[in-house]
Structure 1
Amino acid sequence: METEKKTVIVTKEDSPTDVIEAPTTPNSNGKNSETSASQRLTKLAKHFVIDGTLQPLEKQMPIEDRTSKRNRLEHLRKQKNIEAIVEKSLAYCANSDVKHKADNDWFSRYITLAEEVSNPTMQDLWAKILAGELTKPGSFSYKALKVFRDMSIYDAKLLAKASALAIKDQSKRNIRLISGCYQKPGLLNFFSSHRLQHVNLSHYGLNHADLLALAENHLLYTQESESNAMAQNEAIIFTYNGLPLKISAKKANVVLQFYKLTPLGAELAHLISDKPNEEFFDYLKKQLSHHFNVSSD
């Protein structure tokens, strides 16, 4: 069915009449629905009290009153946001005694950033930041808070995806996404089909474009890294979302390949709850088993 067109006449005071050809699309009831962009803009303008000039002239409040009203509602909105986050934080606060006093300067900066957050999902993450900082001061730097402030929900979900697939070393400061492993080429293995093993992260929801998006937010290094060549029987101990992962080299000169989270990414990744993906964990162990003995006991 061809899209019908409806002529919409827009008249402005002291200006010539404009004629806009606006397509309309029949809805489920067979009626034409108008383009909703202008309605959405009007609703947003009203919500943020910037719709003064959209009202008929005789209904417009003086601009001083409009400004005062907008400032008042903006302060109320910020107050509501930060109070909601503080309330959510109580559920994440540990019951153990806190030995170090909270940094008032950090808390003041935190409030300035967090009071802009109205999305409930993002408020939960900001609540975890506050609880984590109160329990262990120094857990989240001000720089990390500013990066997190500029992240969208989509960016936060990407970080959650990465955290669900990542491994941590024993210090929990270094977080990596294993992308493969290989044995350095030699006369005996040069033509082996198993010499290089790839870990397909995209099959588990994290493709190359997602990695680039994480890098743009300074959460991940785009350059793939490698471990030092390991000696036979040399072992490394990691954790995968709270589960132990011990790998020891079956042979000499085997190397792990991985993407590494930046220090900022590692800080923020601790916000994500440990939710191991059992299917991915089994797949990871299988891919590594060509060159490593893998234990998760």
Structure 2
Amino acid sequence: MEGQVANKVPAPLEPQPTEKLKNNTPKSIIYSIAEEQGVGYLINKEGPQTLAERYEARHKKEQYIQQENLEKIFKLTFDNTPSEKAKQIDPDWLNYFTTIAKTIRNHSMQQLWSRILKQEFLAPGSVSLKTLDTLRSMTHKEAQVFHKACTLSCFFGTDKSKKLLTALKTKHKFLPSLFAPTLNKLSLGNFSLPYSDLLILLELGLILKSELESGELTPGSPLPFNYQNHTYQLTPHQKGLSFTYYRLSPTGQEIAELLGSKTHEPFRETMLELLAPYFVIESQ
């Protein structure tokens, strides 16, 4: 109607940064991370006005963080490497290492990367570029899963490669051709390593993709068996015994050597209980 003032819909007000930070809401988390990463300008309208200035500020901050990461890793390496045993490292390997290591911010992962650098100072050429690439693709959670797997690993016979024992297979004493072998399983899931975690390690290429079986063990013939720092001799009572297991890949083996040994006592006790009815077990 002529002369009547039309109703105007007010423009929505932009939320202020202080509103975004209330009560630790999901948006406040996004806001905080955006600020930390130097990309929060469009959220809070604070800081340098031009895109070029904001890019430069973020780039400098990233370089400072990378510098700090490398300094921490080298300091950990320096503190833990015997100076009288250190050797020169291949410069191309070192350049590849620093390109990756500068992005590592988690403290426990920095400790792992310092162990890699220490190992290379002690024995140049012992850590492959493929291993560095695998570690670069691993999250902290995945590294924890692999460390857990390593604490459950063993090796036996003359083969020193680490294995995850899954079962002891036993054939029927008298009529093995008529009865299927019995699987006396060692459930890794009972020790915080479920099959879903094994799938993660398979995907990363840290363990080989199929479950393997050892050859049939010879009755009366001692078999060297090692679990972490515990060494045994297993002498089979009977015919028809064999192990099933997952084997670490060469890359997994390299990384496992960097992690060192750590005994999971409940697992060790359970494993020995599984073996005891079928072997004479002698501690070395």
If the TM-score is normalised by the length of the shorter chain, which range does it land in?
0.7 to 0.9
One-letter amino acid matched to 2:107: P
Per-residue CA deviation, residues 28-68 of structure 1 (Å, 9 max, x unaligned), is xxxxx6572221111111111112222338x6521111111
Structure with higher helix content:
2
Alignment-derived partner of residue 284 in structure 1: 271
The counterpart of 1:138, out of the listed 125, 129, 132, is: 125
Distance in 2, matches of 1:63 and 1:208, equals 48
Aligned partner of residue 151 in structure 2, secondary structure: helix
**Residue 230 (structure 2) pairs with residue 243 (structure 1):** yes
Alignment of 1:60-209 (within 5 A): 60-98=48-86, 101-169=88-156, 173-185=160-172, 187-188=174-175, 195-209=182-196
RMSD: 2.7
- Per the TM alignment, residue 291 of structure 1 is displaced from its structure 2 partner at its CA by 2.4
Distance in 2, matches of 1:10 and 1:221, equals 60
- Per the TM alignment, residue 230 of structure 1 is displaced from its structure 2 partner at its CA by 1.8
Deviates more, 1:271-280 or 1:260-269: 271-280
Moved beyond 6 Å, runs of 4+: 189-194
One-letter amino acid matched to 1:91: D
Structure with higher strand content:
1
Distance in 2, matches of 1:90 and 1:293, equals 46
Contact 1:183 1:196 in 2 (8 A): yes
- Per the TM alignment, residue 182 of structure 1 is displaced from its structure 2 partner at its CA by 1.8
Q: TM-score, normalised by structure 2?
A: 0.85
Alignment-derived partner of residue 40 in structure 1: 29
- Stretches of structure 1 that go unaligned for 5 or more consecutive residues are 1-8, 14-32
- How has the CA–CA distance of structure 1 residues 256 and 271 changed in structure 2, closer, same or farther, with 3 Å as cutoff? same
One-letter amino acid matched to 2:67: Q
Contact 1:164 1:241 in 2 (8 A): yes
Alignment-derived partner of residue 4 in structure 1: none
Q: TM-score, normalised by structure 1?
A: 0.81
One-letter amino acid matched to 2:91: N
Distance in 2, matches of 1:163 and 1:191, equals 38
Distance in 2, matches of 1:153 and 1:173, equals 27
The counterpart of 1:56, out of the listed 41, 45, 52, is: 45
- Per the TM alignment, residue 191 of structure 1 is displaced from its structure 2 partner at its CA by 9.1
Distance in 2, matches of 1:282 and 1:12, equals 65
- How has the CA–CA distance of structure 1 residues 168 and 187 changed in structure 2, closer, same or farther, with 3 Å as cutoff? closer
Deviates more, 1:187-196 or 1:132-141: 187-196
- How has the CA–CA distance of structure 1 residues 199 and 192 changed in structure 2, closer, same or farther, with 3 Å as cutoff? farther
One-letter amino acid matched to 2:232: L
Per-residue CA deviation, residues 112-151 of structure 1 (Å, 9 max, x unaligned), is 0010001111111111111011111222111111111111
- Stretches of structure 2 that go unaligned for 5 or more consecutive residues are 1-9, 15-21
Counting matched residue pairs gives 268
